[in-house]
Structure 1
Amino acid sequence: METRELRYFVAVAEELHFGRAAQRLGIAQPPLSRAIRQLERRLGVTLLERTSRSVTLTEAGSVLLREGRAALDAVDAADRRTRRAALAATGHPGLVLVTKAGASSELLSKLLDAYAAEPGAVAVDVLLCGPAEQERLLRDGRADVALLHRPFDSTVGFDTEELRTEGQVVALPAGHPLTGRAHLRMADVTALPGLPLPRWPRPDGTYPDGPGPAVRDHVQLLQLIALGRASAVLPESVWAHLGRDVATVPVLDAPTVTTVIAWPPHSRSRALAGLVRAATRL
């Protein structure tokens, strides 16, 4: 298969409409239809069921959509990493580190200071993102290295070093009756009246169903907590970002959170190796 064919198929499979897919690709509809038919003939399978009113994916088409997305992501990542390697070879070295906004800020600050003191250190651009985005940015080549947090982020396919493991606390409005408790359990947290847990976006940008507010980042979340509209279970290190309007109580049975530094296993960057060494020494 050619990458062009894969891009054509993914566009049709996502739009489920040849006209919209052609418009998205910037081509006419007839050559798009011919390309899909040619791909089906070469594979010997039916990828799309077509009627005069609708287009639906077959089981084989669903598999190719999933695999095709991954293949195209890998091609795009190879493109970005190759271009960045060329820049480094011509005297413009640098690293892009991605991390979730509002998470591990103290650790990140120490890491950047420690690495800057290393011989041969290069410039590090820090890319702050929303929840669940740093893993995708690392996989698609827009970042060289990431701070990820298990169990919330997947580290499958990456090389990693563990940096810190911590417990979790529940963040509550200051003055809430439970802020005087020495500790709580998850059952106590989920039963809090009027303080539902937030709903974070999925990788596709949609939100799960539930009574809690839909939030985009920690700044928005902490403001909602201070206003008495939500509560949240967060890593202990969140205290560094709290104002006087939010208090925390340890949650004994919440899963621990492990912060890791992660990078693609095929990387041969000396600058990245130096950053990882600095991280593991902290």
Structure 2
Amino acid sequence: MDRPETRELAYFLAVAEELHFGRAARRLGMAQPPLSRAIRQLERRIGVPLLLREHHRLTLTEAGRVLAEEAAAVLAAASAAVRRTRRAGRPDPRLVVALKSGGDGDLLPALLAAFPTAPEAVPVEVLLCDVPDRARLLRDGTADVAFLHAPYEDFTDLDTEPLLTERTVAVLPRSHRLADRPRLHPADLADEPTARWQGRPGTGPEVRDLAQLMHLVALGRAVALAPASVRTQLRRDLCCVPVPDAAPTTLVLAWPSRSRSPALAAFVRTAAAVAAGHRPPAGPNG
């Protein structure tokens, strides 16, 4: 069987997402008849029906659902390959590091200071982004490496290097009824709306960055579970209380598993060395 072309996969994915040939054709910037012919030709080449056409209504067959998922992955990988290739061909190579604001465990300043001494070092571009975007930027070829947090991330197709493991603290308003406790247990927070952030589950609102998180907590709309390093960035009206029974958070560097970049390998080695000698700075905990 001939392999489908990426153009055919793009055609089919548009139809699978729209479930309407007319809308898919408009989205692709083409006429509907050639799109319909292309999908029928694809079905003949693969040898199974991909769409059910009943009473002017389209639905995906099981084979169609599988192909839609696979086509999305193939097209995303192709786009990522183009981005990485273009960046590799730049006359001024650089390493792009993605992280959320405050999501480096206080390692990045020392890491950026130490990395230029490595023989393979290249200039580093720091890309600040929202929590959900870090892994996506790795997979789509925009970033080379990212600071992520285990166990709250999806590391599929990524290689990782653990850097720091931090205990968990509860971030509370200073006026909160639990703020004066020396420590808390997860059960103490069972009736509190817990913010959903950094991949953590919760019963409260979802936030995308640390500033949103702190504002929400200060308003009394939620409490938050966070790595202990958050205390260095606390607002004055907030405090941290240790939660020893909660799962710790591990800060990791992550990068695409297919990467063979000498500069990236040197960056990871340097990060591991910096983390090994890291001493968490003191900060307010209320």
TM beyond 0.5? yes
2:86 to 83, 86, 91: 83
User: Is the CA contact 1:201–1:214 (under 8 Å) kept in the aligned structure 2?
Assistant: no
Q: Residue 270 of structure 2 aligns with which residue?
A: 278
Distance 1:218 1:54 in 2: 46
Q: Residue 197 of structure 1 aligns with which residue?
A: 194
Distance 1:218 1:131 in 2: 9
1:243 to 235, 240, 259: 235
The correspondence of residues 76-115 of structure 1 with structure 2, limited to 5 A, is 76-87=79-90, 90=91, 92-104=92-104, 106-115=106-115
Q: Residue 143 of structure 2 aligns with which residue?
A: 143
Q: Percent identity?
A: 56
Q: Residue 27 of structure 1 aligns with which residue?
A: 30
SS in 1 for 2:226: strand
Distance 1:277 1:200 in 2: 29
User: Is the CA contact 1:104–1:237 (under 8 Å) kept in the aligned structure 2?
Assistant: no
2:252 to 244, 260, 265: 260
SS in 2 for 1:82: helix
Cα shift at 1:37: 1.0
After superposition, the C-alpha distances for 1:217-265 in whole angstroms (9 at most, x for unaligned) are 2211210101111111111111122111111111122211111112223
After superposition, the C-alpha distances for 1:197-220 in whole angstroms (9 at most, x for unaligned) are 224598xxxxx9x86223232211
The AA in structure 2 aligned to 1:257 is T
Q: Residue 171 of structure 1 aligns with which residue?
A: 171
1:158 partnered with 2:158: yes
Q: Residue 215 of structure 1 aligns with which residue?
A: 207
Q: Structure 1 length as normaliser, TM-score?
A: 0.89
The correspondence of residues 26-65 of structure 1 with structure 2, limited to 5 A, is 26-65=29-68
Aligned length: 270
Q: Residue 226 of structure 1 aligns with which residue?
A: 218
Q: Structure 2 length as normaliser, TM-score?
A: 0.88
SS in 2 for 1:34: helix
Cα shift at 1:141: 0.9
Distance 1:15 1:81 in 2: 30
After superposition, the C-alpha distances for 1:121-149 in whole angstroms (9 at most, x for unaligned) are 32111112222321121112111111111
Distance 2:207 2:80 in 1: 29
Distance 1:162 1:10 in 2: 37
Distance 1:101 1:20 in 2: 39
Distance 1:51 1:250 in 2: 60
Flag the 1:4–1:268 CA change in 2: closer, same or farther, 3 A.
Answer: same
SS in 2 for 1:73: helix
Cα shift at 1:13: 1.1
After superposition, the C-alpha distances for 1:55-94 in whole angstroms (9 at most, x for unaligned) are 222111111111111111111111111111111xx3x110
